[in-house]
A and B are shown apart, each in its own frame.
Chain A
């Protein structure tokens, strides 16, 4: 059976695109199993239950939590949740946390605190 198809397969091989796979770089982050990736010059933002992570292909990373983000629900992720505890900062009602990595510089902002560190 295979011998019947072999000449056809060999004949079709030159028609297949043999261009090499693209070697563009891609940056990825994973928070509690949620994956967010950005290629060079691309921008990706992912919000999971109010926890927002944005990355760009240049390596900038922004994370924000709490009321300042697009969604805030104090009632989610309880019970027998599969997610491991506190891999990211806990949200506190009425408080917000903004964390940004800009190259080698780290910015941290809360309602009362503002820290920039190289």
Chain B
């Protein structure tokens, strides 16, 4: 018998672990997909995934169906991603906290190091273009990166992203425009 999300949530609230597992399996591929694109590596992505569902598990007993489960889940997902500190410090080019409140200051000095020493020609002829693109995406501020990932890779509507990130549509657009502007700055030597 196919149960909808509401049934599964109600059963989970009564302590049915299998119902929770089924609920997780409905959405976890998307959550992991977002985490994989947001995180620096696979281990971090798995940590993010785990943190999201542990929070869902803890919070589900108080879930009062005031929003769709999926909206609530993805809001947790974006929150967890935005506040996550990578565990591999060598990849931590910038402190999340340091630029968290300053969306204008997208590129810190440390971030600029990503491309130091590479002329446009070297970048163009470089073997690992994928790494350069990933570094450029990773160098965006957390909110710009999250917005860009949800829009460009996951294909969500701006309205949906605004719900997930708990902000206005105009704010999402701003993050998106800034993300594009910064990516162009970083990647123009490669594609222009």
* Chains A and B are bound partners: no
B binding-site residues for A, Cβ under 8 Å: none
Query: Taking beta carbons and an 8 Å cutoff, which residues of A are in contact with B?
Result: none
